[in-house]
């Protein structure tokens, strides 16, 4: 076999050609500030990323603290903004404590690794986000990937665990199809079998539940001692950063030993301050949530003849026959000023392609409805 840099570069080129032929190339398209594109691709569900109160709070903290956190909070110190954000998040989610990470990805990896290690059984939903999958892989626990949302299969896996600790991990609102995990039933199964339940509430906090406290809260799991919640500040909060929320002792353990917290530069204080301001808007956002739910339900009515998912929150998926068709549809929409998500393998858990529309109530209603017409016109 040929070795050396030339052979390596050839192999990279051949792989790229294979991906292009399979319709699996990904393109980084330029995004201009104020490009006027209707955003039905991002996760700014409540339109808070540009809310004046959020920008003002972030701007003020930017001036006080500078651009970056300049180090981890253990090394560089923990700002009052981080502490206030964590206290308020624990209050919203009804947990003993909360710890903020620089991303939801790192919060998930940190949470899974904190709950599971060698000698633990981890039961993970087949449709879980890559960050959960990576947490599972890095945990060195035995991982059983259970069929999607199949409580009976999950309970069967738990029954076979012997004397080991067991953890069930699931998203609440699934990021690709937008369906909701059967959280109450999963928790009941965990209780029966003495397992912990880890819920990634990334797409539900701000969108579902009392005061936007998320799907775990909506399922009545607030404060349950065997439930740990993760979330991201990058979606309904319009900011960035991740959160692990659970008993205070778990948070203390993460600060002492959690590698994705300890060895990572902290969330920039300005982002934390923006997220803190967003939290008030999330809490008081019942009207925004009602509008979001109304818009999500409208998608299926407008995209007649397409296979549109039943949305549980702000994620709506539209099945497309092939990756190439999905790409062409999303490209046509973009040319006409509407950004939609285009999900193809390997980003889809079942190997099928979809368009993903995410509702953003920051988009004026008439513009949103017009965007749905454009999507319908561009469809295969
Ligand atoms: C379900 C889910 N969990 C975790 C994440 C990671 O969050 P972040 O983007 O803040 O890293 C995402 C999306 O990005 C997600 O969709």
Q: How many CB atoms lie within 10 A of CB 66?
A: 12
Pick the atom of ligand 1 nearest to 174's CA: 1
Q: How many CB atoms lie within 10 A of CB 137?
A: 14
| Residue percentage of the chain with pLDDT more than 70 | 99
Q: How many CB atoms lie within 10 A of CB 13?
A: 10
Query: With a 6 A CB cut-off, is 309 part of the ligand 1 pocket?
Result: no
* Ligand 1 centroid, distance to 233 Cα (angstroms): 9
Length of the chain (residues): 380
pLDDT of residue 2: 76
Pairing of strands 97-101, 242-246: antiparallel
pLDDT of residue 346: 78
Over 90: is that where the pLDDT of 359 sits? Answer: yes
Pick the atom of ligand 1 nearest to 203's CA: 1
pLDDT of residue 317: 96
Listing DSSP states for 167-198 in one string gives EEEEESB-TTT--B--HHHHHHHHHHHT-EEE
Distance CA 178, CA 207 (A): 12
Q: Return the percent helix, strand and coil in the chain, to nearest 5.
A: 45, 15, 35
Tokens linked to 380 = 């295969």
pLDDT of residue 50: 96
User: Which tops the pLDDT comparison, 1 or 214?
Assistant: 214
Distance CA 231, CA 6 (A): 44
pLDDT of residue 22: 79
Over 90: is that where the pLDDT of 29 sits? Answer: no
Over 80: is that where the pLDDT of 24 sits? Answer: no
* Ligand 1 centroid, distance to 176 Cα (angstroms): 11
pLDDT of residue 162: 85
> Tell me: the pLDDT tens digits for 140-172?
999 999 999 999 999 999 998 888 999 999 999
Pick the atom of ligand 1 nearest to 106's CA: 11
- The chain-wide mean pLDDT, for the chain, equals 96
Query: With a 6 A CB cut-off, is 358 part of the ligand 1 pocket?
Result: no
Pick the atom of ligand 1 nearest to 105's CA: 11
> Tell me: the pLDDT tens digits for 241-299?
999 999 999 999 999 999 999 999 999 999 999 999 999 999 999 999 999 999 999 99
Mean pLDDT computed over 215-219: 98
At residue 344 the predicted structure's pLDDT band, cuts being 50, 70 and 90, is: confident
* Ligand 1 atom 16, closest CA: 175
* Ligand 1 atom 7, closest CA: 104
pLDDT of residue 348: 82
| Opening angle at CA 282, ends 71 and 375, nearest 5 | 100
* Ligand 1 centroid, distance to 173 Cα (angstroms): 12
pLDDT of residue 351: 83
User: Which tops the pLDDT comparison, 95 or 348?
Assistant: 95
> Of the residues 101, 105, 244, which should be mutated to test ligand 1's pocket, given the most ligand atoms within 8 Å of the CB?
105
Query: With a 6 A CB cut-off, is 102 part of the ligand 1 pocket?
Result: no
Listing DSSP states for 5-17 in one string gives HHHHHHHHHHHHH
At residue 25 the predicted structure's pLDDT band, cuts being 50, 70 and 90, is: confident
Straight-line distance from the first to the last Cα atom of the chain, in angstroms, rounded to the nearest whole number: 45
| Residue percentage of the chain with pLDDT more than 90 | 89
Mean pLDDT computed over 333-339: 97
Over 90: is that where the pLDDT of 198 sits? Answer: yes
pLDDT of residue 35: 84
- Residue 299 half-sphere exposure, CB side, CA atoms within 13 Å? 29
Tally helices (H) and strands (E) across the chain: 15, 11
* Ligand 1 atom 8, closest CA: 104
Range scoring the smallest mean pLDDT among 18-22, 84-88, 367-371: 18-22
Mean pLDDT computed over 121-132: 97
- 264, 106 Cβ separation under 8 angstroms: yes
User: CA dihedral in degrees (49, 310, 341, 57; nearest 10)?
Assistant: 10
Mean pLDDT computed over 354-364: 97
Pick the atom of ligand 1 nearest to 131's CA: 4
Rg (CA), the chain: 21
Mean pLDDT computed over 332-351: 90
């Amino acid at each position: 076999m040929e070795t050396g840099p030339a052979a390596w570069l050839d192999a990279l080129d051949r792989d790229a050609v294979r991906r292009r032929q399979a319709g699996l190339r990904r393109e980084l398209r330029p995004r201009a500030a104020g490009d006027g594109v209707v955003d039905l691709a991002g996760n700014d569900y409540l339109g808070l990323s540009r809310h004046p109160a959020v920008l003002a709070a972030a701007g003020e903290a930017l001036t006080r603290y500078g651009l970056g956190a300049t180090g981890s909070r253990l090394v560089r110190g923990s700002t009052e903004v981080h502490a206030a954000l964590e206290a308020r998040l624990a209050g919203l989610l009804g947990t003993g404590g909360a710890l903020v990470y620089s991303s939801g990805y790192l919060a998930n990896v940190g949470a899974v690794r904190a709950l599971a290690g060698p000698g633990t059984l981890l039961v993970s939903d087949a449709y879980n986000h890559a960050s959960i999958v990576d947490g599972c892989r890095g945990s060195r626990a035995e991982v059983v990937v259970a069929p999607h949302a199949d409580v009976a299969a999950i309970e069967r896996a738990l029954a076979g665990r012997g004397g080991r600790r067991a953890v069930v991990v699931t998203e609440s609102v699934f990021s690709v199809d937008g369906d909701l995990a059967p959280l109450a039933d999963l928790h009941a199964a965990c209780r029966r079998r003495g397992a912990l339940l880890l819920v990634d509430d990334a797409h539900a906090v701000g969108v579902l539940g009392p005061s936007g406290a998320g799907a775990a809260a909506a399922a009545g799991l607030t404060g349950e001692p065997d439930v740990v919640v993760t979330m991201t500040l990058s979606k309904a909060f319009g900011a960035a950063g991740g959160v692990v929320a659970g008993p205070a002792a778990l948070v203390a353990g993460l600060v002492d030993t959690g590698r994705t917290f300890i060895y990572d530069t902290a969330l920039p204080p300005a982002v934390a301050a923006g997220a803190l301001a967003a939290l008030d808007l999330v809490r008081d956002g019942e009207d925004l949530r009602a509008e979001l739910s109304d818009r999500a339900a409208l998608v299926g009515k407008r995209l007649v003849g397409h296979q549109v998912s039943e949305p549980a929150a702000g994620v709506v998926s539209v099945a497309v026959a092939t990756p190439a068709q999905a790409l062409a549809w999303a490209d046509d929409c973009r040319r006409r000023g509407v950004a939609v998500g285009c999900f193809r393998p390997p980003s889809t858990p079942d190997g099928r392609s979809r368009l993903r529309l995410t509702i953003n109530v920051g988009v004026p209603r008439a513009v949103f409805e017009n965007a749905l017409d454009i999507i319908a016109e561009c469809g295969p």
